Amino acid sequence: MLDELRQRLRAMEKVTGIEAGPGPVPLGLAGVDAALGGGLARGALHEISAVNEAHLSAATGFTLGLAASARNLLWIAEDMALTESGAPYGPGLDCFKRAPERLVTVAVANKRDLLWAMEEALRCRAIGAVIGEVRHGAIDPIAVRRLSLAAAESGALALLLRAQPSSDASTAMTRWIAGAAPSLSSPSPAGGGSPSEARWGGVTYEKRSPPPASLRSALAGDLPPPGGGENGAAPRFAAQLVRNRRGPLGSWILEWRDTDERFILAATHAQPVAAPLLNRPRQKVA
């Protein structure tokens, strides 16, 4: 009885055109793909929010990882976002194998223009994914619904990147909260760079250790505080799936591996741990 009710509820929540559209984008992680019903749904809207402003660069990198399979990517941002965060960072885009000719950036004056531009871009079948970077404030639910319908028509990925979590009503297929997770230290930083710097999602910032108490208290759930290895270390992301219309929720620490352009589950330990000694002889006590 319960299974039948769940099936009926899922049928009622389906976004128009999802089932008839292209298949999902597998992330290559069994647990994550199983939760998503096979992978990230194409032809649907997905929201990715940073834990807070300090984690916005990590949330941006996580969003780029989700859009890595898209042949052509359109990135739309408000003028205020470009003023506060700057334009996409070239070497960081290289980390995600995003060639300049496969990325088109658009700057708009306000949120209303951004949502309109996203909808128009999603209706273009030459675009594989559209990222809309929104800074603050609520979003009109009707505009969000139109984004979902436009994505369903073309089969493109609609990715709404937000600077902080929101409880707005939304037709998004999934909602994520992403932040920086400590990466493995690299004893020999690739390409030089100062040991006082670290890279998160393709953005270089000054590393502070330990992070301020105000930042630690602002972290949500089990997300670890920012920190990490030196230049050359693979970026890691703490990803929480807080809304999923196709299955359960979850939380994972993911690492971006640029050799094959996909996420992998991060190792449990930040540093190698020596195996325990077997048949260790007892020491005589004087």
Q: Which pLDDT does position 6 carry in this prediction?
A: 67
Continuous H helices in 89-238: 90-95, 111-122, 141-154, 213-218
Alpha carbon distance 87, 77 (integer Å): 9
123-159 tens-digit pLDDT: 998 899 999 998 887 888 999 999 999 999 999 999 9
Tell me the percentage of the chain whose pLDDT exceeds 70: 70
pTM across the whole model: 0.72
pLDDT digits (tens, 9 = 90+) for 238-280: 999 999 998 899 999 999 988 888 899 987 544 555 665 666 6
CA distance 244 to 250: 9
d(CA 286, CA 68): 64
Residue 86 has pLDDT above 90, yes or no: no
Q: Which residue has the higher pLDDT, 123 or 84?
A: 123
Domain extent listing, the chain: 38-181+192-265
pLDDT confidence of 214, banded at 50, 70, 90? Answer: very low
Q: Which SS3 state, helix, strand or coil, does residue 244 take? A: strand
Dist CA 206 CA 186 (whole Å): 16
- Specify the CATH architecture of the domain 38-181+192-265: 3-Layer(aba) Sandwich (3.40)
Taking the C-alpha atoms of residue 203 and residue 89, their distance in angstroms, rounded to an integer, is: 7
Contact 72, 63 (CB under 8 A): no
Per-residue CA distances from 41 to 15, 64, 139 (Å):
11, 15, 22
Q: How far is CA 62 from CA 32, 49, 53, 280, in A?
A: 14, 10, 15, 45
Residue 50 · residue 162 · CB < 8 Å: yes
> How many other CB atoms sit within 10 Å of the CB of residue 229?
22
